[in-house]
């Protein structure tokens, strides 16, 4: 074969391979039908109410094209674009669908990271409501879930500092403030549904509210979101609402607690400490057909403030006393609304399920008593005084 014939044959082979490759690419799916972000309504949060036999839904929609062009979530000019739509219907699904008539563009639920429910919605359609939401393929099981006693539309229109997008507010990122001041852990759909199905377990939804007095922007009040308490439910049974102040003490028997401040006021000397990551044991037993619990709590922390001279051992003793009182107080607050806020009964259920079923009539009767906590020992150990050092600090 001469050189000219070889070159022609080689060229034909390459041309054949190229043609086959192009033919093989034709059936492959492309991105021709993908819409750009500015042509889609992205729902980022949803509020649900239930009034006179009808669901009322509020949805928060954001301009994602503006967010993508912002720097660290801060819009370069003007206010962040927050839209709130309202839908109604006999069922939750029809209430959502009613929004489509006026949405102008395709609605996407894949970026919904928060749901807010009113007391009326929880009382009337608790587990049915959550099961309906979880049926949606786009629903995120790790979406944040809240309750509220406030106007849903005002909540969804609230924006954080510096013209930032609501995506960096407590509504969408509750963990960012929880790690600095732990009282009640944020709740997710997955955890709520799991806890609601546990026999006799009391679960909760943190409640959102608006503080309209603490922050001003250019001399004008700027409402800010905050957690003001929690709704408590046992299975499908509504227990009630407890305020943030009433829940102080919950954090000392919660493994998710990161850190929490404590003020020792009206003592020989005012002081403040910061206590971290509690370690505790809860021993359950039965005495005279009554649930009993022995609790031991250990806390380490930092002394932040001290008005006058006081020995470290005195501060530790006072802090231990306050922790003990706050645990007993939140326990009694739960008893008042027939809620096992500290989930002590669940300890007995895990250890002696048959005994628990007998005492609670298989979960139908509230069996905790005022004196169910037989003993409570608290030990606080201050390991640091910040950048200062007390002479007797261990």
Average pLDDT over residues 141-161: 88
Residues 296 and 319 in one domain: yes
> Is position 137 within any domain?
yes
Q: Are residues 223 and 77 in the same domain?
A: yes
**Cα distance between residue 165 and residue 75, in whole Å:** 7
Q: Mean pLDDT: which of 27-31, 34-38, 304-308 is highest? A: 304-308
Helix 189-196 × helix 119-135 angle, to 10°: 100
Same domain as 176, residue 156: yes
Question: Can you tell me whether residue 227 is helix, strand or coil?
Answer: strand
This prediction's pTM = 0.82
Q: What is the pLDDT of residue 260?
A: 87
Q: How far apart are CA 125 and CA 233, in angstroms?
A: 12
pLDDT digits (tens, 9 = 90+) for 227-256: 999 999 988 788 999 999 999 999 999 999
The pLDDT value recorded for residue 361 is 87
Residue 386 has pLDDT above 70, yes or no: no
Statement to judge: residues 243 and 301 lie in one domain: no
Q: Pick from 121, 193, 156: which is nearest to 46 by CA?
A: 156
What residue numbers bound the domain in which 151 lies?
A: 35-247
Residue 75 has pLDDT above 70, yes or no: no
Compute the distance between CA of residue 128 and CA of residue 197 in angstroms, rounded to an integer: 12
Contact 327, 375 (CB under 8 A): no
Which residue blocks in 174-272 are alpha helix, DSSP H?
Answer: 175-178, 189-196
Q: Which residues pair with 379 in a beta bridge?
A: 298
Say whether pLDDT at 261 is over 70. yes
Q: Same domain for 232 and 146?
A: yes
- pLDDT of 62 reads 78
* Whether the predicted pLDDT of 49 surpasses 60: yes
Last residue of a domain, one of 247, 280, 302: 247
Instruction: Place 303 in a pLDDT band, splitting at 50, 70 and 90.
Output: confident
pLDDT (0 to 100) of residue 374: 93
Mean pLDDT value across the chain = 82
Looking at the structure, tell me whether residues 210 and 326 fall in a common domain: no
Is 129 within 8 Å of 121 (Cβ atoms)? yes
Residue 71 lies in a domain: yes
- Average pLDDT in the 36-41 region? 63
Q: Is residue 29 part of a domain?
A: no
CATH at 307: 3.30.300.210
pLDDT at 170 over 90: no
What is the distance between the alpha carbons of residues 142 and 155, in angstroms, rounded to a whole number? 21
Do 229 and 283 fall into the same domain?
A: no
Domain count, the chain: 2
pLDDT at 299: 93
Q: Is residue 18 in some structural domain? A: no
Distance CA 197, CA 209 (A): 28
Question: Does any domain span residue 179?
Answer: yes
pLDDT at 122 over 90: no
Mean pLDDT of 349-362: 89
**Residue 70, pLDDT score:** 53
Residue 156 inside a domain? The answer is yes
Mean pLDDT of 173-188: 87
**Element spanning 121, H or E:** helix 119-135
Asked whether the predicted pLDDT for residue 392 surpasses 80, the reply is no
Q: Rounded to 10 degrees, what is the CA torsion of 191, 125, 42, 79?
A: -100
Confidence check: pLDDT of 85 > 60: yes
Do both 298 and 345 map to the same domain? yes
Q: Give the containing element (helix H, strand E) for 21.
A: helix 3-25
Same domain, 68 and 208: yes
Distances (CA, A) of 162 to 81, 83, 333: 13, 18, 39
Residue 8 lies in a domain: no
Is 41 within 8 Å of 103 (Cβ atoms)?
yes
The answer on 256 and 239 residing in a single domain is no
* Residue that is last in its domain, among 220, 247, 274: 247
Q: Higher-confidence residue: 20 or 178?
A: 178
The better pLDDT of the pair 24, 380 is held by 380
User: Is there a single domain that holds both residue 353 and residue 389?
Assistant: yes
Domain boundary among 204, 231, 247: 247
- Residues 232, 277: one domain? no
């Amino acid at each position: 074969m001469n050189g000219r014939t070889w070159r022609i044959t080689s060229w034909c082979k390459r041309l054949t391979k190229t043609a086959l490759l192009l033919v093989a690419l034709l059936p492959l799916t492309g991105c021709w039908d993908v819409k750009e972000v500015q042509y889609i309504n992205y729902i980022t949060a949803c509020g649900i109410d239930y009034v006179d036999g009808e669901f009322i839904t509020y949805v928060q929609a954001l301009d994602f094209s503006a967010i993508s062009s912002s720097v660290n979530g801060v819009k370069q000019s003007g206010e962040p674009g927050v839209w709130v739509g309202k839908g109604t219907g006999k069922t939750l699904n029809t209430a959502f669908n009613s929004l489509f008539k006026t949405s102008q563009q395709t609605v996407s639920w894949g970026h919904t990271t928060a749901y807010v429910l009113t007391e009326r919605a929880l009382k009337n359609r608790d587990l049915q409501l959550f099961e309906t939401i979880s049926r949606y393929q786009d629903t995120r099981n790790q979406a944040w879930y809240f309750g509220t006693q406030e106007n849903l539309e005002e909540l969804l229109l609230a924006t954080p500092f510096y013209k930032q997008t609501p995506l960096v507010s407590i509504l969408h990122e509750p963990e960012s403030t929880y790690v600095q001041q732990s009282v009640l852990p944020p709740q997710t759909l997955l955890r709520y549904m799991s806890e609601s199905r546990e026999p006799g377990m009391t679960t909760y939804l943190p409640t959102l509210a608006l503080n309209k007095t603490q922050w001003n922007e250019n001399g004008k009040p700027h409402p800010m979101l905050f957690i003001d308490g929690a709704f408590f439910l046992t299975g499908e049974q509504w227990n009630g609402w407890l305020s943030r102040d009433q829940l102080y003490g919950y954090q000392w028997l919660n493994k998710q607690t990161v850190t929490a401040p404590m003020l020792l006021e009206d003592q020989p000397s005012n002081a403040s400490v910061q206590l971290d990551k509690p370690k505790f044991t809860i021993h359950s037993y039965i005495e005279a057909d009554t649930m009993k619990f022995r609790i031991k709590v250990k806390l380490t922390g930092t002394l932040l403030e001290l008005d006058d001279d006081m020995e470290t051992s005195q501060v530790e003793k006072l802090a231990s006393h306050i922790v003990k009182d706050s645990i007993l107080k939140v326990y009694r607050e739960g008893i008042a609304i027939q809620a096992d806020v500290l989930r002590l009964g669940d300890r007995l259920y895990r250890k002696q399920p048959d005994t628990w079923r007998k005492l609670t009539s298989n979960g139908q009767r509230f069996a905790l008593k005022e004196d169910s906590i037989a003993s409570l020992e608290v030990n606080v150990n201050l390991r640091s005084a910040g950048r200062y050092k007390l002479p007797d600090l261990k």
